[in-house]
Amino acid sequence: MADPILELVSLVKRHGGVLAVDHVSFGINRGEFFSIVGPSGAGKTSVLRMIAGFESPDEGEIRIEGRSIRGIPPHRRPVNLIFQSYALFPHLTVAENVAFGPKMQGMATGDIQSRVRDVLDMVKLTRKETRLPAQLSGGEQQRVAIARALINQPAVLLLDEPLSALDQQLRQEMQGELKAIQKRVGISFVCVTHHQKEALALSDRLAVMHQGRVLQIGTPEEIYGNPDCRFIAQFVGNSNELRGMLIANEGGSGLFRSHDLEDGQSIRVHVSGDVESHKPVAFVVRPERLHLSETIERSAFENSLQGRVEKVLYLGSELQYTIQLSRSVQWTVQVSCLSGRQKVWPVGTTLFVQWQAQDGLVLPL
Amino acid sequence: MKHREAWLRSVALFNLAFLYFPILVLLVFSFNASRLAATWQGFSWHWYGQLIENGALHAATGNSLLVAVVSTALAMVLGIPAAMGLERLARRSQHILGGMLLLPLVIPEVMMGVSLLLLFVMAGMPLGLTTVILGHTVFNLPVVIVIVRARLRKLDSCLGEAAADLGASPWQILRQVTFPLLRPAILGAVLMAFTVSLDDFIVTFFVAGPGATTLPLKVYSMIKSGVSPEINALSALMVLLSMSLVGVSLLLQRR
Amino acid sequence: MNQLSRSAESLGDMGNPVSSHRMTYWLLTPGVLWSAVFLFIPLMVVGVISFATRGTYGGVIWQFSLENYRDVWHVVYARIFGQSLVLASLTTIICLVLGFPLAYYIVRLSPRWQAVWLILIMIPFWTNFLVRTYAWMFILRTEGLLNTLLLGLGVITTPLDLLYTDKAVLIGLVYGYLPFMVLPLYATLERLDPAFVEAAQDLYANQWSVFRRVVVPLTKPGIIAGCLLVFIPSLGAFLTPDLLGGARNMMVGNLIQHEYLVARDWPLGSAISLILLIIVIAAVVAYFFVEPIRSRQELEP
């Protein structure tokens, strides 16, 4: 049941003459991990800054727990922001950094001390209280930033690209920890990132933004499995694509034809309500949903396309084939290495790329 | 290769010798008992004694210190906010306004002295210690701005926002974050401005009135009256003073 | 710099977007006001007066005239301007010749020794300029240290006439401004990636080519900055020519002082000042045009 703790209503922000944020609206529920994903320049950072109070919207409302926070300066908003650079105060120790918020609010020293201890315990930094930020590793610095923000018990915690400063290994560890911390404190997290994989892993729900607009909001499964448009299909996860038209549509089952395919084949597709026939659309199918074989298995798969192996990439846990389907179309097929003796087709092999109609999507451009 | 190394080192050492030779000469000969300065006639504290009894020198030293303290304070009060304000401007405004504020660093001192003299005369202001203080503040202001600004630039610009986000009011941000982080620069600026003010001759020369003699002015008039070992002694003392100020500054920066 | 802080707001910002502009205004106003009153207005007054005429008893007659600018071309003044330019240029060149090897030597030392040398170079700079100039008087006088030494060693039989010559002024200027050349050179040389020098040594047979074709072009920003930092103050020098050069070796600075305080011809003095200022500003502007912004940013503190 929706219980929005943070609501954005038709937020607009202009930078120069450009609409950086274009009528963005969504609500974030209590205790939810929410991500805003999008490429650089999508406007997601502007949205975050407006929630935090460092930029004011040109139009629209921001409401926390039902009350508008327009005009309230950042230091009086019940939100806290974790900066991409962490912005730890270099002249203060870890404990002093974490105690900063409560100290500014005028809390009693004894109370502050016990709260600091609890919070540092939660992020597992208890023995580093007297260190200076410069003496900490990247991961430790981030934990201090989290502690420093959470100690204020904000209504919403904002995170700006929280994991980009970390290396791959540390990233994956911190992903788990971040999620665990969020569940434990039960505070709503709003995370801005351009790493869609991360967003999928961490979020309860996410919003995809592009060129200032919110394209889709949903759970990771909804966004990945049912992208609303071509951009989302390409941005979140990978997609193979064909441009063309629906030439038939009977109650959700249709035929798609693309001029990129040389032999004029039609592809069987499932169609969702709002795609029109005979208008330019995109057909997308995920690399892992495609099946490769040397023969056509018509009974198992409704669609087959013939192609040549252009490239094979061995990624340890899977094989990534690049198949040339026609002069202008190259698709990626992902095959999991289920056994150590997986057959690897060499470059130049002619294969059939096959899939079931329900695994492909026809989407507006 | 070795030739080049040796050659470089000798040039470097020559430079160093060249830089220190006059200073050492002064120090050494300030102890020369003889009045005929250049021949050594025995060690003596005599000239230092003369200095101590020189009442006019005491007054001049007092004036110099007063001027230095007040003009440095003024420059800090004006310069620290100016440096902070400059950093908040957009790139191009920064260059323009910054250029204006830092102009005294480029203008020949003679011009500054002359223009200030004109200003005071036209405004009907009598020349005295006040005009000297005002003049010193003019060239101390850019010194403070440059030093404070250099430090400001190195700080993460998110720190102010982070503090605000955590609940600090603008005033609290200044006290808890900005000034503590600026402290090394502030100290450096104070020392630098103080030294520059103590050292100044030309601007002071133009805008000082009777009774507003500073130490450099006094030394100048002593020199114009003829070379004397007393001047050597005075010079030696001033050199030692500068060196100790530098030493203190370095020690503070080490922390 | 991450996107979140991409605006011009910095530590000086109180974080509140509404009061941001007002705060900047308040921060800058005192300093700007002060500069306007005590720097710009006086300079403008100088400019204006340069077009006026000298009164009989030293005052100013407010009558527009270009007389002063014509008078400047008079042989006496022109000679002084010329000598100033020559001395300033020579000073710059000598400082470059002395300072470049010094800077080159320092950058190749270990960081600790680098710091030591830099401090050693700066210490004389922090002692009183008047005192240091006086020291050269002491050394170069007819009965000064140098002559006494040389006479005593039998190198010469009559004392050298060093003080109150242009050579003495030159020595004094080089002495005073050498650190100003060394520091920018050091700053640029320090940033020079040794890989460049090694690559050049791979390509060119002799050290001089390496130096000429790689090191010098890459350190050009430092060289130009150093030259400017020496040339400009040297041009407007006052104390050095006054104490070491005497009446016959006046430079522009002394001329200005003479016109103002001795001859009491403020309009003429102003005209000379303005010309000096124009030369200085021209040099600075030339610097800004010749040097692309990127290499200048390297040198900023």
Question: H-helix or E-strand containing C270?
Answer: helix C266-290
CB C39 within 8 A of CB B136: no
Determine the Cα angle at A351 with ends A348 and A355, to 5°.
145
Q: State how far residue A358 is from chain B, nearest Cα, in angstroms.
A: 48
For the segment A212-241, what is each residue's pLDDT rounded down to a tens digit? 999 999 999 999 988 888 899 999 988 999
First and final C-alpha spacing in chain A: 32
Predicted TM-score (pTM) of this structure: 0.79
For residue A348, which amino acid is it?
G
Tokens of residue B252, six digits: 């503070």
Average pLDDT over residues B143-163: 88
pLDDT at A264: 73
pLDDT at A153: 92
Q: Does the beta carbon of C134 lie under 8 angstroms from any beta carbon of chain B? A: yes
DSSP A57: -
pLDDT at B157: 80
Asked if the Cβ–Cβ distance from B156 to A85 is below 8 Å, we say: yes
For residue B136, which amino acid is it?
H
Asked if the Cβ–Cβ distance from C5 to A48 is below 8 Å, we say: no
- Of the candidates A169, A38, B86, which has an alpha carbon nearest to the alpha carbon of residue C3? A38
Residue appearing with tokens 């920066």: B253
State what percent of residues in chain B have pLDDT above 70.
Answer: 95
Average pLDDT over residues B89-103: 85
DSSP B127: P
Contacts of B among chains (3+ CB pairs under 8 A): A, C
C interface mutation test: which of A36, A44, A54 has the most C CBs within 10 A? A54
CB contacts, 8 Å: C18 with chain A: 56, 71, 73
Q: Of the given ranges (A120-129, A337-346, C270-279), which has the lowest mean pLDDT?
A: A337-346
Beta bridge partners of A322: A311, A332
Asked if the Cβ–Cβ distance from B170 to C15 is below 8 Å, we say: yes
pLDDT at C120: 87
CA distances from A239 to A149, A268, A272, A305 (A): 38, 17, 18, 16
pLDDT at A253: 83
- Of the candidates B173, B192, B249, B155, which has an alpha carbon nearest to the alpha carbon of residue B71? B192
By the 10 Å C-beta count (0-12 exposed, 13-18 middle, 19+ buried), C14 is classed as buried
In what side-by-side order are the strands of the sheet with A79-82? A79-82, A156-160, A188-193, A33-37, A205-210, A213-218
Q: Does the beta carbon of B165 lie under 8 angstroms from any beta carbon of chain A? A: yes
For the segment B33-51, what is each residue's pLDDT rounded down to a tens digit? 666 656 677 777 777 777 7
Average pLDDT over residues C73-81: 84
Number of H helices, E strands in chain A: 8, 20
Name, of A32-36, C73-77, C188-192, the range with top average pLDDT: A32-36
3-state secondary structure of C168: helix
For the segment A11-62, what is each residue's pLDDT rounded down to a tens digit? 999 988 888 999 999 999 999 999 999 998 788 999 999 999 998 899 999 9
Nearest to B118 among C31, C46, C253 (CB): C46
Average pLDDT over residues A271-297: 85
Q: State how far residue C2 is from chain A, nearest Cα, in angstroms.
A: 7
pLDDT interval class at C7 (50, 70, 90): very low
DSSP C89-125: HHHHHHHHHHHHHHHHHHHTS-HHHHHHHHHHHHHHH
CB interface of B with A, residues 139-158, below 8 Å: 156, 158
Average pLDDT over residues C167-177: 92
For the segment B226-236, what is each residue's pLDDT rounded down to a tens digit? 767 778 888 88
CA torsion through residues A173, A174, A179, A180, sign: positive
Q: How many CB atoms lie within 10 A of CB A259?
A: 12
Question: H-helix or E-strand containing A220?
Answer: helix A220-225
Q: Does the beta carbon of B228 lie under 8 angstroms from any beta carbon of chain A? A: no
Determine the Cα angle at A355 with ends A354 and A357, to 5°.
140
3-state secondary structure of B47: helix
Asked if the Cβ–Cβ distance from C130 to B116 is below 8 Å, we say: no
Name, of A179-188, B88-97, C205-214, the range with top average pLDDT: A179-188
Q: How many CB atoms lie within 10 A of CB A199?
A: 25
ipTM value > 0.85? no
Q: What distance separates the 2 farthest-apart alpha carbons in chain A?
A: 78
Cα gap C219→C189, rounded to integer Å: 6
Query: HSE (CB half, 13 Å, CA atoms) of A61?
Result: 10
- Of the candidates C100, C175, C110, which has an alpha carbon nearest to the alpha carbon of residue C137? C175
In total, chain A counts a number of residues equal to 365
Asked if the Cβ–Cβ distance from A83 to C5 is below 8 Å, we say: yes
CA torsion through residues A45, A48, A54, A60, sign: positive
Sheet strands (E) in chain C? 53-54, 60-61
